[in-house]
Structure 1
Amino acid sequence: MGNITKGAITPTPDSNPFIYSLSSSRQKGFKPLQAKLYEAIMKNDSTNIKALLAHQPVNEPMTVWDNAARRRPLSIQDQSILPIHLAAKYRREKSLCCLLESGADPKIRDNRGYTALQLLLLHWPKMYITGTDILTRPQKNLATTQRNAEECLRILCEKGVQTDPEMDRDYKHSSLHLALYSGASQAISILIENGANIDDRNEFGKTALHIAAEHLNKEITETLITYGANINCTLPTSGKTALQLAVCTASSKAGRVLAADIDCIRLLLMNGAEVNAQDCEGRAAIHNACLGGRKEIVELLLDYHADANTLTRHGQSPLFLFLQNRSNLRCTSLLNKLLSFSYPLKLTNNRGDLPTGLLFPEFQMQKDFLIRLSQIIWSLQDICKVTVRRIYGEKNKQCLKKQLPVTVWNSLYNYQDYSQL
């Protein structure tokens, strides 16, 4: 009991971790007026805030002390905090509105370079909903906290706060990027509707759409597309598009193991993403998909007319990259599909190297067969079949079935079976 300070305020789950008490306010060098202002802001007490601001400049930092440590500040960044920063950080919407009406400057940065808007986004509450429609009490409280955050953001925007504050030397993220990194999906539409530049880039040249697609976040990707994000914008360093980033993530080893959802990729394709756009290395989305070997992604790209014969700067075809990965050689159904779309069949790169996967002893039979296959001169009929498949794609083959004679259609889509390799 000896550690309990008489008159101390009991912390609440959403309150500041460093709470003032009446006894601590009497410590040497501490300002009782600032303690009262601090408590008024945390309690959303507008009446008290206005009264206290008659004696305390609204844009003067309040010194915050750790009650347990008596005289020691919590940390360097928390030694002092502006009233507007406190209200934004802890989502006190009434206090925030009162402070802005009293002349608080939202453009002022704290000692780490953050504005009130950026602090609000940095401390955006994250909500994880279970599969039931019935919310627990903590979830209901968090939902209320999220509504408070949205209300604070609207207040800042209504007061004319710049949604894209000028980024200083050490801080390179726009408000949209910060919202994405903080998981503030609800803030995206509010920021865009209030003037945030949807295609603004961060220090790595990525737009918000690049980041959302790279993380396979369908919800935010859909929101950004709806608001007019440039879907085919490329990264200045690599030349990759949002589609290529999404395919890279979903086709990675982690994407395969976790069976990452490909709805984000489908969404990008449905809204006009250029399926055959090539990056600075000449790679298209189909190259990365084939390297990863996820059949559903490769087939989806082929449905949208991905060119299975596109070569990278090093002369690598999608089939070449597919055969690079040793584990892909066991997926004979996808190998069948790629062989049926590959003409001319190019097994080597510009230096004449074969794919690494074919060099393992257990795949000697596949290697010999594919080399022989690549040396065969195709008939005009076989070339026409590949061309038709490429033009119409997989998703239109059922439409062709209704228009072509059965024998012709069967000839077009009767892929040769290489499963015995």
Structure 2
Amino acid sequence: MGNIPRKGSRDLVVDSAMSLEDGPSAALHSKLYEAIMREDCTTIETESIIPIHLAAKYHKAQSLLCLLQHGADPEVRDTTGLTTLNLMLLHWPVTSTTWAKPGNRMHRILTDIQNNAITCLRILCAHGAQVNAQGESNKRSPLHLAIAYGCYPVLSILAQNGADVNAINEASMTPLHMAANMLNKEMMETLIACGANVNCAVSSTGNTPLKLAVCTASSKAGRLLGAGVSCIHLLLTHGAKVNAQDYKGQTAIHEACFGGREAIINLLLDFEANVNILTRNGESPIYMYLQRSFNVRDTALLARLLDHTYPLRMTNNQGILPAGIMLPEFRLLRDTLIKQSRKPLSLQGICKRNIRNIYGEKYKQHLKQLLPVAIWNSVYCCYDLANLLKQDLPASQQQGLSATQTAFSG
């Protein structure tokens, strides 16, 4: 038993007892003592205490160091299959000093709590703790636990001591997948700096960190909080493949279009997202955009997507139209878009769209300096979809439409 003190190590026992004599550990010792005296085997089995686990759980650095120096095994597991390192991360102090005034008593207490935990982690790593050991009931590595429990300070320490930043858990997710899904930019930055693969795909779904970040940022909560754009930009600037497809054939722009969040769609377009990729079910990004009625009402964003789309495909493989434009209020728009989807673009129109798709908004102004004004205006022109709608209206209704027409820009 690696946690039984060696002969002559009486100081170890004294040190451990003094370090753990107060707080919850005292109650645990008392409960175990009473169970032993009563010969209550059931309690002894379920409440068994391993000294090194107590030291790690309550971040007692001196006791932890003393135990390790006297032969305690950092890899001994508790009844749930957790190692000392696992337990430390599960009980990592979630403290923030940002709200406390620097230098005051509360700020010092919070700082000391964090520093004690970090010191214990460094001691464990220095004494051979397995930083890649996974739980017996799941495949979560210490890095996965650190992400799940918000232990931001430990990521770089674990990585410096050999933790595999691309390890997968029971869901085949890497730590970066988890951090991206949570939109935790600090963790993402640390993992990427430590060598995390930004294009690793989840084996069961094909999701990349970029797709997960876009999904979370495009959700209702993401929209309300305005969160996630910086996380997406971080991934893109570090080489995330913007047009990577999951097992359904969806890309990040499909997810972004379904969510309808303009900032994310524009960002992906700036990084050359392809709006003409189809899913396995034949759905284009603009098809996903038109699935939701509140997206359809954002006519400016719809126009931008239309200006990058060719051919315009209004149905999926089953011939079903997007649900969002099936409302009666969108009848005219629906009929017009269907009509346009059946009308092939001119060669000139195709060339213009290709130029916009290849160069995107990023090089729009650069092209303006290179191309003649007439040609640039032709490529990046503005057209009015309301004029298309007018063609399907009686003359008596065209004037009313003009009063509310909306310009669709490229």
TM range (shorter): 0.7 to 0.9
> Which of 61, 64, 69 matches 1:93?
61
Structure 1 or 2: more helix by fraction: 2
Deviates most, 205-214 or 358-367: 358-367
Matched, 1:197 2:164: yes
| Cα displacement (A) at 1:128 | 2.7
Letter of the 2:346 counterpart: S
**Matches of 2:203 and 2:45, distance apart in 1:** 35
- Residue in structure 2 matching 1:289, options 227, 244, 256: 256
Pair 1:341–1:135, CA change in 2 (3 A): farther
Superposed structure 1 runs of 4+ greater than 3 Å apart: 33-39, 66-73, 75-78, 129-136
Instruction: Choose from 404, 407, 415 the match for 2:374.
Output: 407
Partner of 2:270: 303
Determine the C-alpha separation between the residues in 2 that align with 1:339 and 1:211.
Answer: 33
Q: Aligned partners of 1:330 and 1:320: how far apart in 2?
A: 14
SS at match of 1:87: helix
Residue aligning to 2:93: 125
Of residues 385, 389, 392, the one that matches 2:359 is 392
Give the 3 Å change call, closer, same or farther, for CA 339–132 of structure 1 in structure 2. Answer: farther
Stretches of structure 2 lacking an aligned partner (at least 5 in a row): 1-10, 23-27, 387-404
2:61 and 2:13 map into 1 onto residues whose CA distance is 19
What SS does structure 2 have at the residue aligned with 1:416? strand
List gaps (5 residues or longer) in structure 1.
Answer: 1-32, 45-61
Q: What's the CA shift for 1:393?
A: 1.4
Deviations 1:346-379 (A, max 9, x none): 1111111110011111111111121122122211
- Partners in 1 of 2:57 and 2:46 — Cα distance? 12
1:230 and 2:208 aligned: no
The corresponding residue for 1:113 is: 81
Partner of residue 377, structure 1: 344
Q: What is the CA–CA distance in structure 2 between the aligned matches of 1:277 and 1:157, rounded to whole Å?
A: 37
Per the normalisation by structure 2, the TM-score is 0.84
Contact (CA 8 Å) 1:121, 1:179: kept in 2 or not? yes
Match of 1:255 among 222, 233, 236: 222
User: Match of 1:65?
Assistant: 31
Deviation at 1:155, TM superposition (A): 0.7
Q: Residues 143 and 155 of structure 2 are in contact (CA less than 8 Å); yes or no, is this contact kept in structure 1? A: yes
1:113 shift after superposition: 1.5
Q: How many percent identity over aligned positions?
A: 49
1:67–1:197: structure 2 CA closer, same or farther, 3 Å change rule?
same
**Retained in 1: the 8 A contact 2:96–2:110?**
no
- 2:324 match: secondary structure: helix
Match of 2:19 in 1: 41
Code of the residue aligned with 1:267 in structure 2: it is L
Structure-2 change in CA distance of 1:129 and 1:418 (3 Å): farther
Q: What does the per-residue CA deviation read over 1:71-93, in whole Å, with 9 as the maximum and x for residues that have no partner?
A: 999x8897221111111001111
Q: Does 1:140 align with 2:108?
A: yes
Q: Distance in 2 between matches of 1:34 and 1:225?
A: 41
State the match for 2:333 in structure 1.
366
| Letter aligned with residue 286 of structure 1 | I
Counterpart check, 1:156 vs 2:124: yes
Higher deviation after alignment, 258-267 or 272-281: 258-267
Using the TM superposition, give the Cα deviation of residue 299 of structure 1 relative to its aligned residue in structure 2, in angstroms: 0.6
